[in-house]
Amino acid sequence: MTTTSELKPLLKRLRLGYLLNILPERLALARQDQLDYATFLQVLLSDEITRRDNRNMEMHLQKAGFEEICRLEDFDWTAGISVERRLLDAVFSLDFLNRHEHVLFVGPVGVGKSFLAQSLGYAAVRAGFSVRFTRADAFFRTLAQSRVDRTLEKNFRSFLSPDLLIVDDFGLQKLTAQQSTDLYELIIARHRQSSFIITSNRAVDEWLGLFDDPVLGNSALDRLANASYQIVIEGTSYRERLSPHRRKEVLTPMSTT
């Protein structure tokens, strides 16, 4: 019986079965570099920690529900937009999460608000925070369906539990009375307990007019706005720049006669 076969039931019992896949390679490395027992064990355990960290990261990213995985380093800063980098650097430090503050990205369609919001969410997941991403219309649909299914309390709590809730594309249309109440209750419940990121095509001073009840709107938005970083993005469509048609035009410009 080989050493590897003897180790197999022990590693599986300790839930370290994955190490069997890399054990031959690591044994060869140990012989080549003449590693002592302690160093060899450290290498094996480091491999397992890295694997578990990567697996947990993937699970948390999947649970967050991002539309796509976005990273700040992938943002195209040559695009024709302007944004205050000082504020952007401040929120990407993630200190706002520890203070239970919020980030509001506002600007016209296609300038990269959703990309930056999801990039910030990605950074938060990597730092160990729980994150959930939802479009505003999906949030309201979920609660409306929950009232039919009698699962409202459970589903509403699911929007309260993450350290960071990202609400994308808020303000596309005026809120109904029920939607106004739902959003008010969400903001009140999360205020000073956890953080929001909200993206919108409308300036923050236009948000009050979206509420069916201005009293609810004033109460909710006063809390939100006074504990938030408001980052305004201006410029031409970032999304258009990423389109295959646009990339083809840049790579093969039309000839003129």
Residue 257 forms part of a structural domain? no
Is 236 within the bounds of a domain? yes
The residues with which 165 forms a beta bridge, in sequence order, are: 132, 196
| CB neighbour list of residue 167: distance below 8 Å, 6 or more residues apart | 134, 135, 136, 139, 196, 197, 198, 199
Q: At what angle do helices 37-64 and 113-126 cross, to 10 degrees?
A: 140
Residue that is last in its domain, among 44, 62, 80? 62
Confidence of residue 253 (pLDDT cuts 50, 70, 90): very low
- Classify residue 251: in a domain, yes or no: no
Residue 137: band (very low, low, confident or very high) from pLDDT cuts 50, 70, 90: very high
User: Per-residue pLDDT tens for 24-33?
Assistant: 888 788 888 8
72-84 burial, b if ≥16 CB within 10 A, otherwise e? eeebeeebebebe
Does a structural domain hold residue 247?
no
Same domain, 18 and 43: yes
Helix (H) or strand (E) holding 228: strand 228-232
pLDDT category at 254 given cuts 50, 70, 90 is: very low
Say what the pLDDT of residue 221 is: 93
Query: Are 84 and 201 in a shared domain?
Result: yes
At 141, list the tokens.
Answer: 């649909």
165 lies in some domain: yes
Asked if residue 26 is part of any domain, the answer here is: yes
3-state secondary structure at position 82 = strand
The alpha-helical segments, DSSP class H, found in 93-176 are: 95-98, 113-126, 136-149, 152-160
Q: What is the pLDDT of residues 71-88, one digit of tens each?
A: 999 988 877 788 889 999
Average pLDDT value over all residues in the chain: 86
The band of 238, judged by pLDDT with boundaries at 50, 70 and 90, is low
Handedness of CA 230, 234, 240, 246 (dihedral sign): negative
* Statement to judge: residues 137 and 216 lie in one domain: yes
In a domain, 252, yes or no: no
Q: Are residues 40 and 111 in the same domain?
A: no
Do 22 and 147 fall into the same domain? no
The pTM of this model reads: 0.78
Domain harbouring 229, CATH code? 3.40.50.300
Residues 81 and 155 in one domain: yes
What is the number of domains present in the chain?
2
Domain span at residue 57 reads 3-62
Q: Is 250 contained in some domain?
A: no
Q: Is 122 helix (H, G, I), strand (E, B) or coil?
A: helix
